[in-house]
Amino acid sequence: MIAKITLENIELYAFHGCYEQEQRVGNRFRVDIYLTYDAEKAAKSDNVADTINYLRAYEIVREQMLITSHILENVVDRILTKLGEEFAEILRAEVRVAKLAPPLGGHLQGVSVTMERNYSEQ
């Protein structure tokens, strides 16, 4: 039985950006993660030890967002790598990181990078 755990609209303050001011002042970011996994054991056991602990998934996102990067692709890749290292049961993951109201000189809600990784092929 395949299932998907989604953590939506995780909003964090971080210091990612190409420009010195972005890394000094920081900005608001939004992160969404989608984790596809085999949920058969968890569905039958009703035991949190048999599923993906979404508190730990959130902590991974928070930890990786604390590491300053120049580009969002680097942040997303680190999150995907750590999720795969932590949860062997993940079959596929998708992560989106959005910089909210980026300093581009005009009104823009945000800019985001989305990447996915298929762990079952690794």
The pLDDT score that the predictor gives to residue 28 is 96
62-113 residue pLDDT tens: 999 999 999 999 999 999 999 999 999 999 999 999 999 877 777 888 899 9
pLDDT, tens only, 39-57: 999 999 999 999 999 999 9
Domain range enclosing 78: 2-121
Query: pTM to 2 decimals?
Result: 0.93
Tally of structural domains, the chain: 1
Please, which pLDDT band fits residue 122 given cuts at 50, 70 and 90? low
In this prediction, residue 120 carries a pLDDT of 85
CATH number of the domain at 38, please. Answer: 3.30.1130.10
SS (H, E, C) the chain: CEEEEEEEEEEEEECCCCCHHHHHHCEEEEEEEEEEEECHHHHHHCCHHHCCCHHHHHHHHHHHHCCCCCCHHHHHHHHHHHHHHHCCCEEEEEEEEEEECCCCCCCCCEEEEEEEEEHHHC
